[in-house]
Amino acid sequence: MEDGHVVISGCSGGGKSTLLKELNRRGFTVVPEPGRRIIEEELNGEGAALPWVNLSAFADRALQMAADDRKCLASAEGWTFFDRGLVDAAVALQHTTGRSAQDLLRLYDRYHRTVFLTPPWPEIYVIDDGRKHDFVEAVAEYDRLLATYDDLSYETIILPRVGVSERADFVLRYLS
């Protein structure tokens, strides 16, 4: 099998984490979003790398955490699903610093060729302690991600706006 590391990316608040919980419930290995883990750590610490305080520092940490996640799961068998990953962090760094996402990613192995993207879905979007940007900003981030995954020659599949069980079925059918 080619690389079994599959990224679920897309719009903030689009249902990525919920989908990953369902895939995990079905027995697949899932890796939580680096950004959410960093925010939790930063809220319990100094808060210097929160995305709404210093997006560049946050994205640098996310890039390193995503790289560490890949190393830890390099020998995992079967499908492993990542809630965001290296490309998402590189896109954030490109947006804040102007550094090329392609250049940032040259040091890292690619994920599976197919990336699943959750589209903007205003009916389920919520702002919470870890997501302080509004829906307009979330859509702009989604547009940057879609363009970059396409530029990097990934096959981007937009997930349908259906229930979580149907979304999981869709992903698994597509990968089989």
What pLDDT sits at residue 15?
86
The number of folded domains in the chain is 1
**Model-level pTM?**
0.90
Tell me which residue range forms the domain holding 159. Answer: 5-175
pLDDT averaged per 10 residues, the chain (length 176): 84 88 97 90 85 88 95 91 95 94 95 94 66 76 95 96 96 96
pLDDT of residue 51: 79
pLDDT for the residue numbered 155: 97
Q: What is the pLDDT of residue 63?
A: 95
Rounded to 5 degrees, φ, ψ at 156 are -95, 125
How many Å apart are CA 152 and CA 86, to the nearest integer? 12
Three-state helix/strand/coil letters over 162-174: CCHHHHHHHHHHH
| 5 phi and psi angles, rounded to 5 deg | -90, 110
**pLDDT at residue 1, as a whole number:** 36
CATH number of the domain to which 121 belongs: 3.40.50.300
